[in-house]
Structures are given as structure tokens and as C-alpha cells.
Amino acid sequence: MFSIFGVPAPLLFGQLLLGLINGGFYAMLSLGLAVIFGMLNIINFAHGAMFMMGAFVAWMLLNYLGINYWFALPLAPLIVGVFGFVLEKTIISRLYKLDHLYGLLLTFGLALVLEGLFRNGYGSSGMPYQIPALLGGAVNLGFMFLPIYRGWVIVVALVVCIATWMLIEKTKLGSLLRAATENPALVQAFGVNVPRLVTLTFAGGVALAAFAGVLAAPIYSVNPNMGSNFINTVFAVVVIGGMGSIFGAIVSGFGLGVIEGLTKVFYPQASDTVIFVVMVLVLLTRPAGLFGKAA
């Protein structure tokens, strides 16, 4: 068995794979954020709360209605997406004419309120959510023991990321969305209902977060703080990838997951800071982020 910097190679490969899995979560969350930034110019601080709500809705579906994981996977994002739709219509849409910071404050407040409500109802220790039987167990890859569920997460994350990217960059709907971002008045003049498009974009971004929440439920305990643990890292990922860049969000999500994973081997104490160190370095050398266009 050979080793790299004193760490046995199999252990290192295992860490790389785990990093990619966590990166999958970062990518899915930053994707939703990037879409909302890009299209609505809203800094959605409630994104972590939506992720948490996705997990909670899955838990509630199972425990109150007996609906299992496979049905929760599409249902929970739908339910949280509808919640996002209502939120955008009633509250967030009022802020588009104001400075970005108002949107930030509003969504930040919403996140605190939502987390507080769930904390009041369900406490902070978390609720158990079992891995679905079909994805239970693990496979021995030779260099590590990989739980099948984690393998599933990485595959699903990749599929979702690529599908979202294709939707926005390659389809008619995507081109309308991008056009509406550049010049809403002109697109509206062509007969497109721009406010509806914006509302649906917000609901879609939120549903992505909720989807990641359902995927996360069997791994982490379903608890009200699960979103805020992620959200700061995810913001850093979006900044590093380049604001509003879908491709940047995906690549930097996975990449930073790996960097964080490696830090956990060599100096675990720094594993929550390393992403911010990278953010500082990137901003010093490429102020628009790795894949962002300079304004």
C-alpha cells in the first residue's frame, strides 16, 4: 500500500469520493441560489431554510401520511415549491425595485422565522429518517466501504445539475428566462408574461433546495439547523463560481467539496474555514469569480 504525504492512498481516495458527495449537495444548493440570483437579483438567504423544509416535509409525509421516500422525492419539492410561489407573489415581489440589501434582509428574516417555527415544534436534536430499503447496505470498493445511498446521492446530484444547466442554456424556456433577465420590458412587449416567469423561477430554485433536503434527510438527522449549517458555505461557493453562473456553481460546488474533504484528512480543525480561504484567494485574483463575467 503506497501513501501520499503520509496518508495511505486508499484512505485518500475514499476522502476524495466523500468530498464529491458533499460537493453534490453544495452544487445542488448553489445551483438554486445562482438561478435565483441570476434571474431575480434576489440574494435568497432563506435558501437554507427551504433545504431544511424539504427534509421536514419528507419526514412529515412519512410520519403523518405514510408516504415513503420515493414519493417524497418529487412531492416534497413540489410542496415547498408552491410555498416558494406564494412567498414570491405575496412578499418578495414587492422588493424588486429596491436595493439588493432589502431582499437580503427580508429573506434572512424569513429564514430565522421558519427555523424558529420548526425548532419550536420539533426541537433541535433532529428526527430520525431511515435510508430507503432499496438503497440500504454498502459496497466494498476496495479502497473504501461506500454506502449505496451516498453513491445514489452523487449520481442524482450530477443528473439534476446537468438537467438544470441544459434547461437554462439550451431550451426555449431557458432563453426566455435569460432574455427576461437582460431586458424585461422588451420581453414583455413580445407578449411574454414576465412576472409569472420570475415567480416560477423562484419556485423552481426553491424546489431544487427542497429536493436536496429530501436527499439529505436520511444522511443527516432532520433538524431545523441543517440549512443554516450549509448556507454560508454555499454562498461562498456561489461567489467563487461567479455570480449567477450556473456552470460555475456546479463546478465550484463539486470542487470545493473535494478541497474540504482533503482538509479533513490533513488538518480537520480548518475544514470549516478552508472554503473561505479559497474565496479570498479567488476574489484577489479573479474578482468576478472563476466563471463569472466581469460587470
Looking at beta carbons only, is 98 or 189 nearer to other proteins? 98
271 binds other proteins (CB under 8 A): yes
219 binds other proteins (CB under 8 A): yes
Q: Name the DSSP letter for residue 7.
A: E
How far apart, in whole angstroms, are the C-alpha atoms of residue 214 and residue 232? 20
225 binds other proteins (CB under 8 A): yes
Residues 17-76 touching other proteins, rule: CB under 8 A, are: 18-19, 21-22, 37-38, 41, 43, 45
Among 74, 193, 273, 277, binds other proteins (CB under 8 A): 273
220 binds other proteins (CB under 8 A): yes
First to last CA, the chain: 50
* Among the listed residues 6, 23, 46, the one whose alpha carbon sits nearest the alpha carbon of residue 205: 46
Q: What are phi and psi of 138, to 5 degrees?
A: -155, 160
164 binds other proteins (CB under 8 A): no
Looking at beta carbons only, is 10 or 195 nearer to other proteins? 10
In 171-193, which residue ranges form alpha helices assigned H by DSSP? 172-182, 184-189
Among 62, 95, 114, 144, binds other proteins (CB under 8 A): 144
How far apart, in whole angstroms, are the C-alpha atoms of residue 46 and residue 1? 47
CB of 55 to other proteins, least distance (A): 12
123 binds other proteins (CB under 8 A): yes
Q: How crowded is residue 212: how many other Cβ atoms within 10 Å of its Cβ?
A: 31
138 binds other proteins (CB under 8 A): yes
244 binds other proteins (CB under 8 A): yes
How far apart, in whole angstroms, are the C-alpha atoms of residue 222 and residue 214? 9
Among 24, 54, 77, 147, binds other proteins (CB under 8 A): 147
Looking at beta carbons only, is 45 or 79 nearer to other proteins? 45
Q: Name the DSSP letter for residue 135.
A: G
Q: Kindly give, in sequence order, each residue whose CB lies less than 8 Å from that of residue 235, ignoring residues fewer than 6 positions away.
A: 33
293 binds other proteins (CB under 8 A): yes
With CB under 8 A as the rule, give the number of residues binding other proteins: 71
